[in-house]
């Protein structure tokens, strides 16, 4: 018998963040030119938001999320739970192939990948696609997704499977120490995105530069990138 760990409940800050975004535009984040990531309630069930983005195909990564508009979009389903023990890696070859084949088969095709919250299962699945079909390292794949959707948080089991997938497919890019440094930095960025206590952007920028210098050393590219994000209001 498989014992599944209980899913962690979202904090009030996480709920606030998702409500704030989804109430304005529908919870759908554009990751690439024709690739989107989002949630179920405010994404996959938000018909007008899907149509506005010209989405044609929907990849559902999860359970108990039936297709809302089967006559309007083409659906694919991956029945996985957001559990650290779930072997989501077994589905990534198929999900990556679905995304890739859909995008190359027509310039009009647009893919929307979602789970329930658009935080763990679907974000991991898009990262796996970038690792396999775009030959990206895990930190690069994670950063591509995070910069467009700052509150993502794959669970630890999925992170370990992403490491395994990256090592299998792109061993020349695999650097365990650099991966762990990046993941620590990504966690900090997520907390900062959700933290509404900073009085102004300058305080947040100074804090980020200090933390990143401690993680990566004084000579690092992240501080400049994150400062640009803050100044552009990507981190609020």
Instruction: Calculate the dihedral angle through the C-alpha atoms of 213, 135, 29, 68, rounding to the nearest 10 degrees.
Output: -150
Q: Measured between alpha carbons, how far is 236 from 232 in angstroms, rounded to an integer?
A: 9
Phi, psi of 8 (to 5 degrees): -70, 135
Q: From CA 178, how far away is CA 157, in angstroms rounded? A: 19
Dihedral, CA of residue 163, residue 114, residue 86 and residue 195, to nearest 10: 70
Is residue 148 within 8 Å of residue 29, measured between CB atoms?
A: yes
Greatest alpha-carbon pair distance for the chain in Å reads: 54
User: Phi, psi at residue 24, to the nearest 5°?
Assistant: -90, -45
DSSP count for the chain of H helices, then E strands:
9, 5
Out of 49, 59, 115, 183, the active site residue is 115
Residue 82, phi then psi, degrees to nearest 5: -85, 70
Beta bridge partners of 59: 76, 113
- Determine whether 115 is an active site residue: yes
Cβ atoms of residues 152 and 113 within 8 Å: no
Active site residues: 115
């Amino acid at each position: 018998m498989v014992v599944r760990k209980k899913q962690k409940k979202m904090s009030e800050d996480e709920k606030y963040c998702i409500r704030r975004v989804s109430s304005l535009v529908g919870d759908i984040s554009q990751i690439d030119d024709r690739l989107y990531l989002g949630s179920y309630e405010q994404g996959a069930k938000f018909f007008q938001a899907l149509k506005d983005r010209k989405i044609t195909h929907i990849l559902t990564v999860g359970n108990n999320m039936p297709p809302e508009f089967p006559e309007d979009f083409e659906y694919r389903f991956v029945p996985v739970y957001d559990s650290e023990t779930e072997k989501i890696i077994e589905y990534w070859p198929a999900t990556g192939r679905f995304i890739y084949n859909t995008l190359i088969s027509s310039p009009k095709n647009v893919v929307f990948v979602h789970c329930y919250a658009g935080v763990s299962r679907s974000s991991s699945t898009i990262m796996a696609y970038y690792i396999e079909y775009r030959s990206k390292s895990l930190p690069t794949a994670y950063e591509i997704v995070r910069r467009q959707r700052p509150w993502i948080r794959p669970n630890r089991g999925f992170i370990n499977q992403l490491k395994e997938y990256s090592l299998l497919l792109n061993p020349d890019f695999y650097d365990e120490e650099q991966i762990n440094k990046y993941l620590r930095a990504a966690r900090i960025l997520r907390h900062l995105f959700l933290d509404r206590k900073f009085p102004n952007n300058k305080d947040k920028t100074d804090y980020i530069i200090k933390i990143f210098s401690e993680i990566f050393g004084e000579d690092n590219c992240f501080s400049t990138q994150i400062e640009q994000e803050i100044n552009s209001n990507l981190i609020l």
